[in-house]
Amino acid sequence: MKSKRSDMRHRFRTRLIANIVYSSLVACLVEMFLVTNLGMLAKYAKESQWNNALMAMIDDRDLVIILGYVLLGVMVFSVTFLLLQEKTLIYIEKISHAVRDISEGDLNTTVDVIGDDEFSSMAENLNKMVEDIRRLMDKEREAERTKNELITNVAHDLRTPLTSIIGYLELLSGKTSAPLPLEVQKKYMDIAYGKSKRLEKLIEDLFGFTKLNYGKISMRVSKVDIIKLLGQLLEESYPNFSNKNLSYELQSNVSAKVIMADGNLLARLFDNLINNAIKYGADGKRVLVKVLASAETVQVSVTNYGYVIPPEELPLIFDKFYRVEQSRSSHTGGTGLGLAIVKNIVDMHGGDITVKSDLNGTVFTVTLKVDFDIDKENFG
């Protein structure tokens, strides 16, 4: 960057000096022309005995005429120099007007980048500054919109189970009706307990999403054996698989694969994907986790063979609080934050996640770098 600035300064100074030289040369040529021709005219007048006061002054090299030559030379130099610098002066005026417009709040103002000198660099930096300000303002507006959306959705999702819990507890207390049979009491207590667990899950997901989304989590990158991690997560989820009458299979083209990542965040990422597959893959009776490792990347796909996600909903699947229609049922539950958390964790690792869904299954594919370096990643 310093070298580029130095080159631009050198080019500008060279051009400025060249303009001065050109102007001086033009002034000298005009002076020489006048001196030569006026001298010849004076000589002719003397030889022809054409006496004239002006010719006498010219012949005598009077101080006044010398001063006139000097003044004329200065004028010619100044006019020539200004003509040569006219484009630069106009360009500076454009930049000045653009700065004024930007200072008054017009962020649609841009300056054409002309040439390759300090002024073009100034125009380029001015355009970049305006673009950065626009991007920051858009980001600020998006953050405000997201915050309002978050508050609205949280209020709705917290109120629904909470209202239900309060209703069942009022029935159990006997304040609103006659005492209930023990069997009915147990049923209502089970329902209230289930609603409470859903409320707890929502709060946990909300807390986790907020920390991830607003940069409140510091990544602790270390060596992680991705095959071992997936095996442990599948074993820990065995009760959930069993409750849904599901089987699972882990396939890999390598027996072990160590990558650089935050182990806790990866555990949450794949735990969310596995639980998502369990929730919506019960009809398929099977969940497949497949690992394809190479020297630079590792690709993990989680496939369930149950509910097919409509094509129009696939682009929205990672949006916060978005749930496909089936997930709104009390059967599958879902907070609408699980896949948003997954996407955030993948982004934090500089990776990529895709989803496809058809009659052959719903496949979530995560691609991660083997040699992830947090210092080289830009999470802005």
pLDDT at residue number 273 = 92
Half-sphere exposure of 14 (CA within 13 A, CB side): 8
Model confidence at 198: pLDDT above 80: no
Calculate what percentage of the chain has a pLDDT beyond 70. Answer: 62
The three-point CA angle 174-179-180 to 5° equals 110
pLDDT at residue number 332 = 47
Distance (Å) of CA 238 to CA 248, 282, 284, 300: 9, 14, 16, 19
Whole-number Å distance between alpha carbons of 236 and 24: 87
Averaged over 56-78, what is the pLDDT? 58
Half-sphere exposure of 21 (CA within 13 A, CB side): 6
Contact in structure between 261 and 372 (CB atoms under 8 Å): yes
Whole-number Å distance between alpha carbons of 88 and 115: 10
Mean pLDDT of the chain: 75
* Higher-scoring residue by pLDDT: 153, 272: 272
Number of H helices, E strands in the chain: 9, 7
pLDDT at residue number 117 = 66
Lowest-confidence pick of 53-57, 134-138, 217-221, 301-305: 53-57
**pLDDT tens readout for residues 145-160:** 766 666 666 666 677 6
pLDDT band for 247, please (50, 70, 90 cuts). very high
b/e map of 259-269 (b: 16 or more CB within 10 Å)?
bbbbbebbbbb
Whole-number Å distance between alpha carbons of 368 and 346: 8
Whole-number Å distance between alpha carbons of 299 and 368: 6
* Range of 111-125, 279-293, 325-339 with top mean pLDDT: 279-293
* Higher-scoring residue by pLDDT: 131, 353: 353
Calculate what percentage of the chain has a pLDDT beyond 90. Answer: 18
**pLDDT tens readout for residues 22-47:** 666 666 666 666 656 655 655 555 55
| Assessment of whether the complete model's pTM goes beyond 0.75 | no
**pLDDT tens readout for residues 303-354:** 999 888 888 888 888 876 665 554 444 444 555 677 888 888 898 889 999 9
* Higher-scoring residue by pLDDT: 268, 60: 268
* Four-point Cα dihedral 315, 320, 324, 330, nearest 10: 170
Q: CB under 8 Å to 350, separation ≥6 — which residues?
A: 369, 372, 377
Model confidence at 58: pLDDT above 60: no
> From the centroid of its chain, how far is CA 236?
37
pLDDT at residue number 74 = 66
pLDDT at residue number 319 = 77
pLDDT at residue number 370 = 92
Distance (Å) of CA 186 to CA 33, 43, 196, 276, 322: 116, 131, 15, 29, 33
Model confidence at 213: pLDDT above 60: yes
pLDDT band for 63, please (50, 70, 90 cuts). very low
